[in-house]
Amino acid sequence: MTSSESLFARARELIPGGVNSPVRAFRSVGGAPFFVKAARGAMLVTADDRELIDFVCTWGPAIHGHNHPRIKAAIAAALENGTSFGTPNPSEVEMAELIVKFVPSIQKVRMCNSGTEATMSAIRLARGFTKRDKLIKFAGCYHGHSDALLIKAGSGALTHGNPDSAGVPASVAQDTVVLPYNDRAALAAGFAANPGQIACVILEPYCGNVGFIMPDAGYLAFVRELCTKHGAILIFDEVMTGFRIAKGGVQEREKIVPDLTCLGKIIGGGLPVGAFGGRADIMDCLAPLGPVYQAGTLSGNPLAMAAGIAGLKLLEELAPYARLDALGRQLRDAVLAACGAKGLPVQVPQCGSMFSIFFTATPVRDYATALTGDARLFGRFFHGCLDRGVYFAPSAYEAGFLSTAHDGAALDRACEACTAAIRDL
Ligand code: KE4
């Protein structure tokens, strides 16, 4: 195995930017990305044989840490029977039954292979069901990289300063209405300006792609009420928050019932996966029953299903949410204390195992206030922690994640590293 440096040099020759997903490139925090050769529990092992405490958790899927024995065994057992059949298989049924059990708003569900596919398909389904073309999304929310949703998007798009990607035709973008998150008047105005034309509203109910941002009290209920009033489909993109914020996601915690929900990450146990589901009357518009086409060679892949089923069953057994929240608060409090001691303004929004760190005195509640965070200072904080063996997301506009594999010792080490990195800023 060669070093990260030599691997990156080779990668840059053949892979654009040397990465298969832009946010991995460290472009906004500076420096060159390390390569990982192994991962287990809360730890990453780099190609340079460094061990890092991981707070990215492969961007959310690894809620049980990496290479959990139960998930590994489930994949191995499924592998004995082959990797892909292209036919219905028993594990797809078991996965559907678990998703419906965990997320009661989902009466029917369709598996796919990524969060991008899930949201892209949900938008098409909402348009087919309502026979309307326009959609409302919120600045900073990221729903994957399908054309209609790469408008004022978060995550890597925002990180690299191109929230509106090149290559998206104006004819597509014109049907996407972008509004500020947490702004009731803007949403009411958005509907009023497009009477009877809005097929759906899609949002991350808790935002994880512009940093971590939670809704104002009552905001999600307001979005629900307006969608119902205007006959628009409410889509919760819970690709990141599903099964993480609570067993039933944000919709369980906030007691809001969306019409459709998009899922991914955790339900694949680290293998490629996505899913979308919701009201049966809407889902039954999908081929082969209805006129909205959607498909996928590897949808419901038996290995991904086995890994996801094992992960969901572990969540049922462990019920880890209170413990994850306690760990998240410990990390939050350490960062707040260190910044307080230094007189450095900071916001550390946190809920359960999700958090982010904005170096700003302004409370962060939307895209505009997220941008008041000092991204350069974040880059220095990021490297200060990395030098001390702690890996946070390499962008000021991502969320941090904890897993059931993060024990007290790992959190203590991470808190010490954060404190020292902040002291040295
Ligand atoms: P994927 O197509 O990457 O599986 O999922 C897209 C997606 C959809 N919805 C939400 C709420 C998401 O967070 C994502 C993907 N999240 C990013 C992390 N911010 C994936 C990391 C990456 O792009 O490399």
Q: pLDDT digits over 364-382, tens only? A: 999 999 999 999 999 999 9
Residue 237 beta carbon below 6 angstroms from any ligand 1 atom: yes
The active-site residue out of 108, 134, 247, 265 is 265
Calculate the average pLDDT of the chain.
Answer: 97
Catalytic residue of the set 142, 219, 367, 391: 142
Active site residue 293: no
Coil, helix or strand for 198?
Answer: strand
Separation between Cα atoms, residue 213 and residue 181, nearest integer Å: 9
Ligand 1 atom at minimum distance from 265 CA = 4
Q: Which among 129, 51, 4 has a CA at the least distance from the CA of 390? A: 51
Model confidence over 343-354: pLDDT tens digits? 999 999 999 999
pLDDT band for 205, please (50, 70, 90 cuts). very high
CB 401 within 8 A of CB 320: no
pLDDT of residue 70: 98
Q: Which of 314, 312, 320, 316 lies closest to 96 in space, CA to CA? A: 312
Please work out whether the CB of residue 156 comes within 6 Å of at least one atom of ligand 1: yes
- Residue with the smallest CA separation from ligand 1 atom 1 is 115
- CB of 142 sitting under 6 A from ligand 1: yes
- Active-site hit among 54, 175, 183, 237: 237
Q: Say if ligand 1 is within 6 A of residue 349 CB.
A: no
Is residue 88 scored above 90 in pLDDT?
A: yes
- Nearest-atom number in ligand 1 for the CA of 116 is 2
Question: Residue 1 has what pLDDT?
Answer: 57
Cβ of residue 115 lying under 6 Å from some atom of ligand 1 = yes
Average pLDDT over residues 68-87: 98
* pLDDT over 90 (residue 157): no
Q: What does pTM read for this prediction?
A: 0.98
- The Cα 423–Cα 418 span in angstroms is 8
**Nearest one of 60, 195, 216, 196 to 138, comparing CA atoms:** 216
Confidence of residue 164 (pLDDT cuts 50, 70, 90): confident
Verify whether residue 142 is a known catalytic residue. Answer: yes
Contact 20, 33 (CB under 8 A): no
Q: What domains appear along the chain, each with residue ranges and CATH number? A: 3-63+320-423 (3.90.1150.10), 69-317 (3.40.640.10)
Atom of ligand 1 minimally distant from the CA of 209: 19
Residue 112, SS3? strand
Catalytic (active site) residue 237: yes
Q: What is the mean pLDDT of residues 80-108?
A: 98
What number does the ligand 1 atom closest to the CA of 144 have?
6
Query: Cα separation of 296 and 177, whole Å?
Result: 28
Q: How far apart are the first and last CA of the chain?
A: 34
Check whether 161 has a pLDDT greater than 80: no
134-138/198-203 β-pairing: parallel
State the pLDDT confidence band at 154, using cuts at 50, 70 and 90. confident
Mean pLDDT along residues 276-294: 98
Q: Is 238 in the pocket of ligand 1 (CB under 6 A)?
A: no
Tell me the H-state helices in 174-213: 184-193
pLDDT of residue 156: 81
DSSP 50-74: -EEEESSGGGTT-TT-BS-HHHHHH
| CA neighbours closer than 13 Å in the CB half-sphere of residue 181 | 32
Q: Tell me which of 57, 114, 142 to substitute to probe ligand 1's pocket, judged by most ligand atoms within 8 Å of the beta carbon.
A: 142
105 Cβ partners below 8 Å, 6+ apart? 251, 257, 258, 259, 261, 278, 279
pLDDT score at 162: 72
What's the token pair of residue 176? 């996407």
